[in-house]
Amino acid sequence: MSTRIDARFAELKKQGRSAFITFLMAGDPDPATSLEIVKALPKAGADIIEIGMPFTDPMADGPAIQAAGLRALKAGMTLRKTLAMVREFRKGDNATPLVLMGYYNPIYIYGVDKFLVDAKSAGVDGLIIVDLPPEEDVELCLPAMQAGLNFIRLATPTTDDKRLPAVLANTSGFVYYVSITGITGSASANTAVVGEAVARIKRHTQLPVCVGFGIRTPEAARGIAENADGAVVGTALVEALAASLDAQGHATAKTVTAVADLVAALAQGVRGAKQAAE
């Protein structure tokens, strides 16, 4: 099975560069603006797009992403509408990989089998479900793989060599290395430490290793991209979006460009990275 994610990494490998992966919350600040932003991302330089599924109790998210989720929920965003947004995006873009990221609860309530059928037909390529450990693979990971979706796993600084094989066992698409311990948006990634961690994970897997958490500037993105197969930016984009809203938290004429412009600057950082020799 080859997915859009596999195809994109193969293509980037030929170009000799890392992936730039963006994260935004579905429905933030409202469903229509959110779709407009996501549509603008590939042109701005996003190679892969992660879309957050808003959830009422997001325990791994920092304040910025929690606030984004709350704005989305307040604007009436649901998992069904998130899938509709993917379907709408796919009408104009059949190449950019889309990954849904979030928690298991909304999927469980939606119904796992129904969700996988609907996600696949909408054009979703992969899932990152932060609260399902490898021990729970029968719940969603294995059915997702059977449905032709990549199940992308998180590895962290505390994932040691004993734990890694379990984490990597049913992972596909790429491995998402969380560069800092703690919640999103809380600290900055240390390039040297990240480089060592990526090398360690690569001893266990052939999959691309992408790094997220703590990347806010083009310089930081470039530093990470030199050591990893991809750099993931979320909090900085969500903050740029939030800063563009009016006093009531509604979208303004600046909202879409605020995000797209930052994506373009970060993408330049990633593209400026000299790929370390394989």
Residue 4 phi/psi, 5° resolution?
A: -60, -30
Look at residue 209 and give its three-state secondary structure.
Answer: strand
CA distance readout (Å), 99 to 5, 47, 190:
9, 11, 26
Look at residue 71 and give its three-state secondary structure.
Answer: helix
Query: Is 261 known to be catalytic?
Result: no
Query: Is 50 known to be catalytic?
Result: yes
Catalytic site residue from 50, 226, 229, 239: 50
CB 226 within 8 A of CB 10: no
Catalytic site residue from 6, 28, 47, 61: 61
DSSP letter (8 states) at residue 249: S
Q: How would you label 101-140 residue by residue, b for 16+ Cβ within 10 Å and e otherwise?
A: bbbbebbeebebeebbebbeebbbbbbbbbebeeeebebb
CA distance readout (Å), 5 to 38, 149, 207, 218, 256:
17, 10, 11, 23, 25
DSSP letter (8 states) at residue 63: H
CB 214 within 8 A of CB 188: yes
Catalytic residues: 50, 61
